[in-house]
Structure 1
């Protein structure tokens, strides 16, 4: 990967600003509760110190959120992430669907967090993108590995949010800008997921719809 001028790379392979970006993205992907305004203000301050491809979409989301009534934003969040399977924020779903293997994937994530001293709350699932990003902010090397391992799912979520016209698509664009561009097996995995859906997808769920044409190259991290 080519390193942009003025940037430094950590010895763990992630750039020095990645943890701040992941923390800001995590704050904006959480449910917009009564404290969301404070998280939004913090994310804005962080964005001022991030590279433009990462900061710009965060600021676009922030502008939308600030112009939207809190109740309307919360209702849109529930409609987007809780009622539309295509916009599922739980990353193991893309790899395993509703199968027994997903339980194994969740357990492995919990073990990874525990090894770094992280204990999840009772109301947190380890594969929610906001949780994975928060963990990545505290353990960049391991977090980067986890996000890269779920790169196809992150990209498919971005595409689904784009198709839906969701403001949270901006946040996913920012996340993807911190990760390697899709290529090879990852690109094929996105096309396969878009066409077929996750393993053992149940009848009646919101379909993954028709052909998805990925731009070449797909938007990725700074190169």
Structure 2
């Protein structure tokens, strides 16, 4: 898997409710250490260090406080724009169609605007789709990052790594598109 897709996949995993499978998994730590991008590596290591410094139950409680009880830090990216309005449901339909066009099949019951799902889809599709999804959700991701950073949340490290990775990926994609014109 290409490095940018690995960063997106790992961030997707870390942004979900903490799981025993990755918690204190030394292989993940070793993988992060091998990333070529120094900035993203540092951001992911900062989050890793935070997560393994806590007992698992405390990590899980902090996750719930951060994301489940905060409207400002919702991982459902269209919630901040539409709330529970009807337009949000219409947006879901369009988003599901975009996933299908890219060949990504949503499994499970998560809504299509759930950031970990978006990052997972990006990790499994081509850069053109990453570009499209990023610009659909860029404003919401930037707002989430600003909120997390303002709250000194360790999850801000993950968003920083994601945003840097996506900015680089989009720049490469735009460069590639310009060369073909």
TM-score, length of structure 1 as denominator length: 0.68
More helix by share: 2
Where 1:86 maps in the other structure, the secondary structure is: coil
Residue 174 of structure 1 aligns with which residue? 161
Residue 161 of structure 1 aligns with which residue? 148
Residue 71 of structure 1 aligns with which residue? 57
Is residue 138 of structure 1 aligned with residue 133 of structure 2?
no
Aligned residues: 169
Q: Deviations 1:71-113 (Å, cap 9, x if unpaired)?
A: 0000111111110000001112233332211111111221222
Unaligned runs of 5+ in 1: 1-15, 182-219
Contact 2:32 2:44 in 1 (8 A): no
RMSD of aligned alpha carbons: 2.4
TM-score, length of structure 2 as denominator length: 0.83
Which whole-Å CA distance do the structure 2 matches of 1:23 and 1:39 have between them?
A: 16
Match of 1:150 among 137, 160, 171: 137
| Cα drift, residue 164 of structure 1 | 1.7
Contact 2:67 2:73 in 1 (8 A): yes
Distance verdict in 2 for CA 1:149–1:43, change over 3 Å: farther
Distance verdict in 2 for CA 1:175–1:65, change over 3 Å: same
Contact 2:104 2:124 in 1 (8 A): no
| Cα drift, residue 60 of structure 1 | 0.2
Of structures 1 and 2, the one with the larger relative CO (CA 8 A, separation 6+) is 2
Which whole-Å CA distance do the structure 2 matches of 1:105 and 1:40 have between them?
A: 39
Match of 2:99 among 94, 104, 113: 113
